[in-house]
Each structure stands twice: as structure tokens, then as C-alpha cells.
């Protein structure tokens, strides 16, 4: 495979290594992951610096942490359809390693490094920066970034001297290894209710709070 993720590789072996997990033997992608991590942080830092010309260092640092966290990079991996292309050892294949966030995120960083080694810094930057455009555009204002949905909802209500939300567990199901929780978030003033799902009760509460913030923003 020569072309992948918007780049045509002059050295396909670099891409093959980037997509090879250590469980499949050597050469694997751990060294590439190390280099890619530094590149991703630099690209995202530059993008945020330009996107928020008046944000302070703290806000920029928190935003970068949001964009380069494991789950965010795993989301990029799924968009690029990296999972099915990963080379995994038998054990990881059996346990669904191609769907695991940690493995997907590491592979994204490794692919970034492979592009850099194949074509240089400027070409790598040109290919990789668009992967983050949607997430950067979706960031909350600089003074809110890094705060989870429940915290932001609480601050919204407290700032208007309104009662805090009430969260209630609606249902819990699924297999032991894949539990699904459904939670409601109810406000007294304004009178609204939303629901959210997650793999834990906490995650479901965050999803419900996020839905509530969207509803309030639309008012």
C-alpha cells in the first residue's frame, strides 16, 4: 500500500511499519509513535496559536491536551479507517485490538511520523493539520476549554442563580465487558430534560449534560 491518509508514500515500508503493532513482531511502530507524538503536539500547538490569537498560555495548553488525548486521536484513526489496516499479533486480533483506543491513537502518531520521514516536515504538516480542523472548530471558548460538560452546565446555572441539575439513572444493560448506562439530566429552571448514554454512569451523565448545554445554547 502506497497511498494512505492523503499521502502517497515514496517508501511504503514506512507506512507498513507505522501500521504494525508490537504484538505482531518487529519492525513495529513504537519508535515511530514516539516521533509522531512530538510532531502532533507541535502541529496542534501551532494551529491553536493561530486560531486563538488572544488566548493565554493556559487556555492553549488545555486545548492542546483536549485535541491530542487518546480518545481524540482514536477518533481520527476511525475517520482514516486505520483499524482494519493494522497488523496485530494473534492475541490482539482475538481481543479486538483494532478497535482499542490506545492502539488506534498510537497508530495515528506512528503514521504521522512515517509521513514526516517519507516526505519532510512541510508535507507532513500539510497532510496532518486538516485532520484536526473539525475538532478545533468545535472547541468551546478559550475560558471554557478543558472543563467537562457537567462543570460547564453547573457554572451556567450558578451564574444565573438557578437550581442545579438532577441526574437519574434510567437504565443499565449490556454484557459485562460492554455495559451501557442511560442517564437523565433534569433542570427545574428552565424546565428541561435530556438523556445521555455511556459506558459508565459518569460518562452517561456527561453526555446528558452536554445535550443540555446544546439545548440551552439553542434557546
Position 199 scores a pLDDT of 83
Ligand-binding annotation for 148, yes or no, is: no
- For residue 69, tell me if it sits in a domain: yes
* Average confidence (pLDDT) over 182-201: 92
pLDDT grade for 146, boundaries at 50, 70 and 90? low
Same domain, 177 and 119: no
Tell whether the model's pLDDT for residue 194 goes beyond 70. yes
Rounded Cα gap, residues 186 and 8, in angstroms? 51
- Collapsing DSSP to helix, strand or coil, 108 comes out as helix
Same domain, 155 and 129: no
- The CATH number given to whatever domain includes residue 54 is 1.10.1520.10
Q: Of 137, 166, 186, which residue sits at a domain end?
A: 137
Position 177 scores a pLDDT of 66
Residue 134 or residue 175, greater confidence: 134
Could you read off the pLDDT of 82-97 as tens digits, one per residue? 999 999 999 888 888 8
Rounded Cα gap, residues 121 and 2, in angstroms? 19
Ligand-binding annotation for 155, yes or no, is: no
Q: Of 87, 110, 137, which residue sits at a domain end?
A: 137
SS3 track for 158-201: HHCCCCCCEEEEEEEECCCCCCEEEEEEEECCCCEEEEEEECCH
Could you read off the pLDDT of 198-209 as tens digits, one per residue? 888 988 999 999
Same domain, 131 and 36: yes
* Average confidence (pLDDT) over 175-193: 87
Q: Of 137, 158, 186, which residue sits at a domain end?
A: 137
Tell whether the model's pLDDT for residue 75 goes beyond 80. yes
Same domain, 65 and 19: yes
- For residue 143, tell me if it sits in a domain: no
Q: Crossing angle for the helix pair 101-119 and 121-128, nearest 10 degrees?
A: 140
- The CATH number given to whatever domain includes residue 187 is 3.30.160.20
Same domain, 62 and 121: yes
Mark 62-95 as b/e (b = at least 16 C-beta within 10 Å): bbbebbbeeebbbbbbeebebbebbbbeeebeee
Ligand-binding annotation for 106, yes or no, is: yes
Same domain, 153 and 93: no
Same domain, 189 and 112: no
How many domains, in total, are found in the chain? 2
Could you read off the pLDDT of 160-179 as tens digits, one per residue? 999 999 999 999 987 766 78
Name residue, grid cell 511520523: 113
Same domain, 130 and 167: no
With beta carbons less than 8 A apart as the criterion, state whether 123 and 12 touch. Answer: no
Catalytic residues: 37, 109
Residue range(s) defining the domain that contains residue 12: 3-137
Residue 172's alpha-carbon distances to 75, 165, 178, 180, 203, in angstroms, are 25, 21, 11, 6, 13
- For residue 142, tell me if it sits in a domain: no
- For residue 67, tell me if it sits in a domain: yes
Output the pTM of the full model. 0.69
Amino acid at each position: 500500500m502506497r497511498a494512505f491518509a492523503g499521502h502517497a508514500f515514496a517508501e511504503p515500508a514506512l507506512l507498513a511499519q507505522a501500521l504494525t503493532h508490537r504484538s505482531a513482531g518487529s519492525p513495529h511502530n513504537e519508535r515511530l509513535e514516539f516521533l509522531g507524538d512530538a510532531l502532533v503536539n507541535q502541529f496542534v500547538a501551532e494551529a491553536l496559536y493561530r486560531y486563538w490569537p488572544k488566548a493565554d498560555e493556559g487556555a492553549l495548553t488545555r486545548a492542546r491536551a483536549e485535541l491530542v488525548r487518546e480518545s481524540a486521536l482514536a477518533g481520527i484513526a476511525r475517520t482514516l479507517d486505520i483499524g482494519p489496516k493494522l497488523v496485530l499479533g494473534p492475541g490482539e486480533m482475538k481481543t479486538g485490538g483494532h478497535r482499542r483506543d490506545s492502539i488506534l491513537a498510537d497508530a495515528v502518531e506512528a503514521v504521522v511520523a512515517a509521513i514526516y520521514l517519507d516526505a519532510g516536515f512541510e508535507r507532513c504538516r500539510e497532510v496532518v493539520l486538516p485532520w484536526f480542523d473539525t475538532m478545533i472548530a468545535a472547541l468551546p471558548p478559550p475560558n471554557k476549554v478543558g472543563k467537562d460538560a457537567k462543570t460547564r452546565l453547573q457554572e451556567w446555572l450558578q451564574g444565573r442563580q438557578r437550581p442545579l441539575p438532577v441526574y437519574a439513572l434510567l437504565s443499565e444493560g449490556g454484557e459485562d465487558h460492554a455495559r451501557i448506562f442511560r442517564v437523565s439530566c433534569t433542570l427545574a429552571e428552565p424546565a428541561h430534560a435530556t438523556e445521555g448514554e455511556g459506558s459508565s454512569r459518569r460518562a452517561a451523565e456527561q453526555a446528558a449534560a452536554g445535550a443540555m448545554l446544546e439545548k440551552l445554547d439553542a434557546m
